[in-house]
């Protein structure tokens, strides 16, 4: 069971929530930090130095003897990563390539083969002997966040846990989609601001395209009648949890502490929340 914690708007509390969720369920959950452009779950979870692996991707390599400069690959590439330079032949720009492999498949002369290039790293560690953290980290200058996200999610688990929590990147573009496509359930964290609400609506629209079940976590809630609560009520969206606006939480986070430190009793709520998602999932699968 994979549960993605996503938002749309940045800064709503995805990592704050993901970290608390995995800490409260550390006997049955692991966490993958999929915000590969700036992963930060490790800042709150600490632990030993990670084991680092390189994420490689396949970019096209041209065989000049086989290439007839027909341009089929150039026309195909949506990212302009290939170019015909007149009599100079075919050029590849690895920094624009999104590793889709399409050009290699469509080349009528088999002139393109896969060559490896580094896109980033996966850092794995076990904290306190029982909590596994996998961190995807995109190489600076690399265009291909989804490649690193998919590799981090696919990393073979070190600990046997029934649930994997995916701390998703913000936005609703390719990185977000790469994460959501792997998820069985999405928890959408929002804040009760017009901006938060606007992006929550975008995230829900994207998730519905993927037919994924979701529920909403309202962070910094101002009560049962705040903007986000009213929105969810009107639209019929399930609210999985509400975390009240509080100075104590802000202070704790700024000191590298977690929600479990700041709110007594939230650990049980987070266990109940995971129970509820797992039960719903079991019903869906058997039904």
Enumerate binding residues for other proteins (CB under 8 A): 74, 79-81, 83-89, 91, 93, 95-96, 143
Residue with Cβ nearer other proteins (72 or 278): 72
Residue 195 Cβ, how far from other proteins at the closest point, in Å?
22
Phi/psi of residue 167, each to 5°?
Answer: -80, 105
Which residues lie closer than 8 Å to 39 by C-beta, 6 or more apart? Answer: 33, 135, 136, 137
Residue with Cβ nearer other proteins (50 or 143): 143
Residue 85 Cβ, how far from other proteins at the closest point, in Å?
4
CA distance 223 to 113: 58
Which residues lie closer than 8 Å to 271 by C-beta, 6 or more apart? Answer: 24, 25
**Angle, alpha carbons 175-181-184 (nearest 5°):** 130
Q: Count CB-CB contacts under 10 A for residue 284.
A: 11
CA distance 204 to 212: 9
Residue with Cβ nearer other proteins (95 or 114): 95
Residue 221 Cβ, how far from other proteins at the closest point, in Å?
36
CA atoms in the 13 A half-sphere facing the CB of 83: 11
Which residue from 72, 58, 57 is spatially nearest to 110, judged by alpha carbons? 72
Residue with Cβ nearer other proteins (54 or 80): 80
Residue with Cβ nearer other proteins (82 or 165): 82
Residue 75 Cβ, how far from other proteins at the closest point, in Å?
11
Residue with Cβ nearer other proteins (46 or 71): 71
Residue 192 Cβ, how far from other proteins at the closest point, in Å?
32
Residue 96 Cβ, how far from other proteins at the closest point, in Å?
5
């Amino acid at each position: 069971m994979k549960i993605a914690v996503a938002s749309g708007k940045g800064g709503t509390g995805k990592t704050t929530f993901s970290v608390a969720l995995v800490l409260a369920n550390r006997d049955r959950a692991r966490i993958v930090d999929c915000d590969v452009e700036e992963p930060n779950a490790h800042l709150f979870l600490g632990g030993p130095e990670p084991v680092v692996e390189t994420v490689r991707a396949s970019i096209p390599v041209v065989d000049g003897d086989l290439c007839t400069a027909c341009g089929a690959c150039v026309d195909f590439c949506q990212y302009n990563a290939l170019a015909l330079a007149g009599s100079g032949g075919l050029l590849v720009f690895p920094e624009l390539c999104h590793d889709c492999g399409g050009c290699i498949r469509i080349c009528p002369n088999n002139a393109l083969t896969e060559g490896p290039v580094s896109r980033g790293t996966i850092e794995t560690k076990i904290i306190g002997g029982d909590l596994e953290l996998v961190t995807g980290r995109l190489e600076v200058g690399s265009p291909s966040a989804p490649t690193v996200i998919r590799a981090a999610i696919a990393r073979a688990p070190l600990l046997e846990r029934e649930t994997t929590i995916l701390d998703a990147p913000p936005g609703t573009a390719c990185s977000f989609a790469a994460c959501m496509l792997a998820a069985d359930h999405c928890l959408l964290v929002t804040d009760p601001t017009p901006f938060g609400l606007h992006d929550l609506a975008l995230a829900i629209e994207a998730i519905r395209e993927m037919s994924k079940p979701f529920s909403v976590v309202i962070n910094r809630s101002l009560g049962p009648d705040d903007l986000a609560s009213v929105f969810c009520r009107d639209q019929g969206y399930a609210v999985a949890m509400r975390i009240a606006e509080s100075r104590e939480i802000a202070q704790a986070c700024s000191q590298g502490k977690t929600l479990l430190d700041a709110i007594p009793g939230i650990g049980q709520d987070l266990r109940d929340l995971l129970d509820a998602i797992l039960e719903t999932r079991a019903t869906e699968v058997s039904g």
